[in-house]
Amino acid sequence: MRAAVLESYDEPLAVRDCDPPTPDPDGAVVAVEACGICRSDWHAWQGHGDWADDDVPIGQVLGHEPAGRVVETGDRVTTVSSGDRVVVPFNLGDGTCGYCRNGHGNVCTGGWALGFESDVPGAFAERVAVPQADYNLVGLPDSVDFDAAAALGCRYVTAFHALAHRADIAAGDRVAVHGCGGLGLAAVQIASALGASVIAVDIREDPLAMARDVGANTVVDASAVADVPAAIEAETDGGAEVSVDALGRAETCRNSVRCLRPRGTHVQVGLTTDAERGEVALPTDWITRWDIDVLGSRGMPPSRYDDLLRLVADGTLNPGALVTRRVALEAVSERLAAMTDYGTDGIELVTEFGR
């Protein structure tokens, strides 16, 4: 089968023939129909492994946002069959630990990060193996196509879990979203659909226009205002109830905390860059003074995908609307390179894998 292999950091991926995967007794193999190209792939490709868990070995097949059809299952798999249409969570649980059994498989300490570890090669490939298939694979409703499912990727599910489950937003909340890449736009669309009033922040014109299209009530061009938190405070009559840093730079993280009203909630979903290397100084005394909650969130437990897929199936949420480009496997490297200067908009997918 064809796959895009990381042979050297920051160099084009090598698209070449690899041995197709076989399922382990508890696993399954999925023929990939679509796979999102994500900033986490970019971090891995850049070799940013020292401070985050995007540490990948040379020889890795990247790609962690696949949707496709099951083509093979292991002997012990009982609930998944060949032909099933599925989406694959990127943070795979072992299905047996306390976190998994209690519905928190996204923080399983014995699990795998698909496409980031040598024993779970990723989905920039014609086929991908998924361990613990009964626990991890999520069936797709007929009305959700593969492109929309791949667009859920890590970004859309992370945004949904962050807003719906972690911050538990309510209708009428004022929600600020800092950074309008794929993750930020997903947060804008989801917060708006869940009844929030949304303020989107970025420094680029096109993402701000897209943010308006997918539900932002107000946009703030951070390059045009002297003080982003003050601008949000003015727009929200005292600050946001919930704010999301969807970019992971020191400035967006601090702005996200500082734009909150008393008792507000900051959710960190963006991973930091090589400027921060995983650490950002925050106004801690101010956080203390105003009963501010600071939350982290990544991925979503497989058992909670149904909450999200119901809303996609009934048209409340439209992840497919964030897809801006569909490319062949050969073009992944070029699309990763475009991320270096924030030159991509929305969510881009690989949809052609064969010759």
266 - beta bridge partners?
Answer: 243, 294
Residue 93 sits in the site that holds Zn ion (CB under 5 A): yes
The correct pick among 28, 108, 228, 339 for binding Zn ion (CB under 5 A) is: 108
Residue 159 sits in the site that holds Zn ion (CB under 5 A): no
Other Cβ atoms less than 10 A from the Cβ of 33: the count is: 20
- The answer to whether 166 and 297 have CB atoms below 8 angstroms apart is yes
Please list every residue from 39 through 68 that binds Zn ion, using CB under 5 A. 40
Residue 185 sits in the site that holds Zn ion (CB under 5 A): no
Q: Between 21 and 301, whose beta carbon lies closer to Zn ion?
A: 301
Residue 265 sits in the site that holds Zn ion (CB under 5 A): no
Question: Closest Cα to residue 151, out of 15, 38, 257?
Answer: 38
Please list every residue from 25 through 44 that binds Zn ion, using CB under 5 A. 38, 40
What is the size of the binding site for Zn ion (CB under 5 A)? 10
Residue 97 sits in the site that holds Zn ion (CB under 5 A): yes
What is the Cα–Cα distance from 180 to 187, expressed in whole angstroms? 9
For residue 225, what are its two tokens?
A: 């205002």
Residue 100 sits in the site that holds Zn ion (CB under 5 A): yes
Beta strands per DSSP E along the chain: 2-5, 14-17, 28-37, 66-73, 85-87, 91-92, 112-113, 127-130, 138-139, 174-178, 197-202, 218-221, 240-245, 260-268, 293-296, 323-328, 347-352
Residue 348 sits in the site that holds Zn ion (CB under 5 A): no
Write down the least CB distance from residue 34 to Zn ion, Å. 13
Q: Between 23 and 302, whose beta carbon lies closer to Zn ion?
A: 302
The correct pick among 24, 33, 54, 94 for binding Zn ion (CB under 5 A) is: 94
Q: Between 159 and 211, whose beta carbon lies closer to Zn ion?
A: 159
What is the Cα–Cα distance from 245 to 254, expressed in whole angstroms? 9
Residue 154 sits in the site that holds Zn ion (CB under 5 A): yes
What is the Cα–Cα distance from 86 to 331, expressed in whole angstroms? 24
Task: Candidates 101-109, 298-306, 311-319, 333-341: pick the segment binding Zn ion (CB under 5 A).
Answer: 101-109
Question: Closest Cα to residue 270, out of 182, 193, 175?
Answer: 182
The angle, 0 to 180 degrees and rounded to 10, between the axes of the packed helices 228-236 and 250-258 is 30
Write down the least CB distance from residue 95 to Zn ion, Å. 6
Write down the least CB distance from residue 153 to Zn ion, Å. 5
Write down the least CB distance from residue 96 to Zn ion, Å. 6
What is the Cα–Cα distance from 15 to 29, expressed in whole angstroms? 20
Q: Between 99 and 146, whose beta carbon lies closer to Zn ion?
A: 99
Question: Closest Cα to residue 131, out of 156, 150, 148, 114?
Answer: 114
Write down the least CB distance from residue 242 to Zn ion, Å. 22
Binding site for Zn ion (CB under 5 A): 38, 40, 93-94, 97, 99-100, 108, 153-154
